[in-house]
Structure 1
Amino acid sequence: MTNISKNVAASPDREPTAPLFDRFNHVDHWVFDLDNTLYPAQCNLFAQVDVRITDYIANALGMERQAARAKQKEYYRLHGTSLRGMMIEHGMAPAPFLDYVHDIDVTPVTPSPLLAEALKALPGRKVIFTNGSVRHAENVLARLGVADHFDGIFDIVAADYVPKPDPTPYVTLIQRFGINPGRAAMVEDLHRNLLPAAAAGMTTVWVRTDSEFSHPDPAAQAHPGDHVHHVIADVEAWLAEITAHLR
């Protein structure tokens, strides 16, 4: 049964059955996605990335933007990321692509002292797991003011360019950070990316948003599946509630 935390309106048959902290007091490793998860989806950072991916593909393949955008979405659908599609289909070097597409303005993200305070109080190790780059993650974490509260960043390079939700990078992540999945929680805005985490034994937390970039499978949004254990609307409020009695 999926639990709906207090910062999500719960239906009458899905009221929380235990205090929020009690439902996570077994966790000593916290795995957080980055984009549209640690900051509100309304910041719309990925819209900037999306445009720059189209531009890069257009320039790399000598295409008009409309054709490049269609190719971008095709590769995302077939390969998990447009980057991986370009690598597989065209032998593209990944580093220049990542540098270009993540050269964005992060000022739409508002610094969050409340999130920083909650992360500081949260027991256990905290790791970022992103299909983006370390550089992008560092820029966003610095803007939020929370960089000092994470023990590591596992990015697309560390994953050997194999994106979530392929199970392979989850195995590598678990090994690299010494994570016991039974004592770990993963927090994500793409519920399909929680499938391998749940299969490995992690507690999963889906950040439900209205962002189009969080809805690759709109039909599954209302009923994401048993691999989603908890549903929240806002990470900042959720963590503040979990850690309220610890500060």
Structure 2
Amino acid sequence: MLAQLSHIRNWIFDLDNTLYPASANLFAMIDARIGEYVQRLLGCSPEEARRVQKDYFHAHGTTLSGLITDHGTDPHHYLDYVHDVDMSVLEANEALIEALARLPGRKLVFTNGDAPYARKVLDKLGLGETFEAIHDIHATSYRPKPEASAYQGLCEAYDLDPRESLFVEDMARNLKPAKAIGMTTVWIDNGSEQTPDADRSFIDFTITDLGAWLHTVLES
């Protein structure tokens, strides 16, 4: 094990564009479905729906959180709609499967999506039995990453010491609250970042391929 990470007991992973490559474009399909949902809800143009969608994303962490706050949107109806996408674009990554299996300690998924969707993705990736738990948007009471309460709730729910925890994300802004409570932070710089010019001082490791990096960690 890489000496810098010998203290890690808890390995926490984002789901979308983290446990599968951004090049799969699965989240691009979800993003389009979100736009369609906003357009239908508000009865507006695609352009206005896109503006609202991204304004909510940046202000609230997720478009859903903004829709709940301003429009009382039913989260289950929303999530069922936006996650109705073709998952055949996903493929198992044997190097990642092997590396995750070898990691010592606990492994969890921390996602702003919901658990039913996450389980479908994990099964498609060959990771259905890999993780102890999925901490999803429902578990955060719809106060998603990067809300500090989402990270506190994760640690309380699974009795995690953040100083012994590592968190992997493709969205750098979601790593800042993790670092603030003592987690080791890993950013996957894979082209999915939506705030490219933001501060990166809270990132401990920047990687491009999760499976390859984990093998390096394990073999150091």
TM-score interval (norm. to shorter): over 0.9
Shift of residue 66 of structure 1? 2.2
1:167 aligns with 2:158: no
- SS of residue paired to 1:238: helix
- Aligned partner of 2:101 in structure 1 is 120
- SS of residue paired to 1:194: helix
Q: Superposition pairs for residues 184-203 of structure 1, below 5 Å?
A: 184-203=165-184
Contact preservation (8 Å) 1:54, 1:65: yes
- SS of residue paired to 2:36: helix
- Aligned partner of 2:200 in structure 1 is 224
In 1: Cα distance, 2:179 partner to 2:61 partner: 19
Q: Superposition pairs for residues 1-247 of structure 1, below 5 Å?
A: 21-211=2-192, 214=193, 216-220=194-198, 224-225=200-201, 227-244=202-219
Contact preservation (8 Å) 1:115, 1:146: no
For 1:105-148, what per-residue CA distance to the aligned partner results, in whole angstroms no more than 9, with x for missing partners?
12212112221111111000000001111122111111110121
For 1:148-177, what per-residue CA distance to the aligned partner results, in whole angstroms no more than 9, with x for missing partners?
110000011111111111100100000111
In 2: Cα distance, 1:144 partner to 1:21 partner: 26
The one-letter amino acid paired with 2:197 is A
Shift of residue 72 of structure 1? 1.1
User: Once superposed, what is the RMSD of the aligned Cα atoms?
Assistant: 1.4
Q: Which runs of 5+ in 2 are unaligned?
A: none
TM-score by length of 1: 0.85
In 2: Cα distance, 1:210 partner to 1:224 partner: 15
In 2: Cα distance, 1:195 partner to 1:207 partner: 14
For 1:181-223, what per-residue CA distance to the aligned partner results, in whole angstroms no more than 9, with x for missing partners?
1111011111111111111111111111123xx2x22223xx6
Q: Which moved more, 1:55-64 or 1:95-104?
A: 55-64
- SS of residue paired to 1:128: strand
- SS of residue paired to 1:168: helix
Of structures 1 and 2, the larger Rg is shown by 1
In 1: Cα distance, 2:129 partner to 2:87 partner: 18
In the alignment of these two chains, the number of paired residues is: 220
Q: Which moved more, 1:112-121 or 1:172-181?
A: 112-121
In 2: Cα distance, 1:24 partner to 1:118 partner: 15
Q: Percent sequence identity over matched residues?
A: 43
In 2: Cα distance, 1:74 partner to 1:203 partner: 29
Contact preservation (8 Å) 2:2, 2:219: no
Q: Which runs of 5+ in 1 are unaligned?
A: 1-19
- Aligned partner of 1:10 in structure 2 is none
In 2: Cα distance, 1:142 partner to 1:244 partner: 27
The one-letter amino acid paired with 2:196 is P
TM-score by length of 2: 0.95
Shift of residue 244 of structure 1? 4.0
- Aligned partner of 1:7 in structure 2 is none
In 1: Cα distance, 2:109 partner to 2:173 partner: 17
